[in-house]
Structure 1
Amino acid sequence: MQPEDSARRAELLDKIVAYARRHGLADVSLRPLAAAVGSSPRVLLYFFGSKEKLVREVVAYTRAEQVATLAPELNAAAVDRLWAWLSDNDNVTRLFYESYALSLRDDPGPWAGFGAASVREWLPHLLPLSARLLPGVPAETGATLILAMLRGLLMDRLATGDTERVDAAVALFENLLTAEPPA
């Protein structure tokens, strides 16, 4: 691939990710997608190989973007920062849940393995936070709890639009994480 091809491919990927955030990918067809990003189906196939590979790359890109929001030095404030980023990016979060749900189907197609990969990618980043905030709890168990709480709260927020109630629940969760354990 020539350098100009790499630049064009990266530009198209950015546009496709932006499109996916607004419209999702569940029912995407190459022709309307190509038109929306200023390309053609043939060019998309040249750069991405197939519709399935394109979808896989988009969902992998958005998973990596989410994980990159985690600070190297995690603490209770990191939960707050992470929540702020996730809850300010509803379109990213909708795309995540769409991809996660599609990965659970009997025939997940390009979404195969998305849910499991997402958990595998997040847990290592949450292990230090879990160990620090939940002493005495196995780190992987605590990291699983933190991940499940954040994802559940995000799903509730997206489903209901009740940001005040859900944000209050996040604040309560953060307080519980930082509370002194009972003696």
Structure 2
Amino acid sequence: MAVGDARRGDPEGARRAELLDELLRYSAEHGLSEVSLRPLAAAVGSSPRVLLYFFGSKDGLVREVHRHARREQVRVIDQALAEDAEPAAAVRALWEWLADPAHHNIEKFFFEGFARSLHATDGPWHGFAATSVAEWLPRLISALEGSSANPTLILAALRGLLLDLLATGDHERVSAAADELIRSI
């Protein structure tokens, strides 16, 4: 059941969905890797017992927050790509969303999960990076249909540009590079 569906009919599902939203907001601001359940629960207006009830364990909670974050990213890319059929315009809409400072905390959380998953052989971080690529790449392939642009290269370039932007805050320089990339599509 999708998070939005859970809110409509099932009170437990609605509470779980609300917790996921709060946990994502907290995670985007503070990360999840070093926090224990008690302070995390307090920060999101819950209790460790309730978090364990809904997510089974801290690992389960981390996995679910990452899934929720990926669903949000997929929703955003789908919306950006649906708004304009022209490949360059679709990628521009996506870049504008990614470059918006209002989204930087969730993107930092994304990169935390991505980096941790590169070392994880199990646990909550395992497979996060590969799943992210598997979710984004088909959408870019579809958006870039009819273009000579390489979807893997565009995905890698957008992520690299975003990392640069998050690290330096140099919006003007990085956005100029993004514009050059988009013009090449």
Q: TM-score, normalised by structure 1?
A: 0.87
Determine the structure 2 residue equivalent to 1:82. 94
The answer to whether structure 1 residue 163 and structure 2 residue 171 are counterparts is yes
Structure-2 change in CA distance of 1:106 and 1:45 (3 Å): closer
Determine the structure 2 residue equivalent to 1:24. 31
Do 2:55 and 2:61's aligned partners in 1 also have CA atoms closer than 8 Å? Answer: yes
Do 2:25 and 2:106's aligned partners in 1 also have CA atoms closer than 8 Å? Answer: no
Q: More displaced, 102-111 or 55-64?
A: 102-111
Aligned residues: 171
| Structure 2: gaps of 5 or more residues | 1-8
Distance 1:120 1:97 in 2: 16
Structure of larger gyration radius: 1
How far did 1:127 drift?
A: 0.7
Determine the structure 2 residue equivalent to 1:112. 126
Q: After superposition, what is the alpha-carbon deviation per residue over 1:84-114, rounded to whole angstroms, capped at 9, x for unaligned?
A: 1112110011001000000011555311000
Determine the structure 2 residue equivalent to 1:65. 72
Aligned letter for 1:95?
A: F
How far did 1:28 drift?
A: 2.1
| Structure 1: gaps of 5 or more residues | 178-183
Structure-2 change in CA distance of 1:14 and 1:74 (3 Å): farther
Match of 1:51 among 54, 58, 82: 58
Determine the structure 2 residue equivalent to 1:173. 181
SS in 2 for 1:42: helix
Determine the structure 1 residue equivalent to 2:161. 153
How far did 1:78 drift?
A: 1.1
Q: TM-score, normalised by structure 2?
A: 0.87
Distance 1:77 1:131 in 2: 13
The answer to whether structure 1 residue 132 and structure 2 residue 146 are counterparts is yes
Structure-2 change in CA distance of 1:74 and 1:34 (3 Å): farther
Aligned letter for 1:63?
A: R
How far did 1:173 drift?
A: 0.5
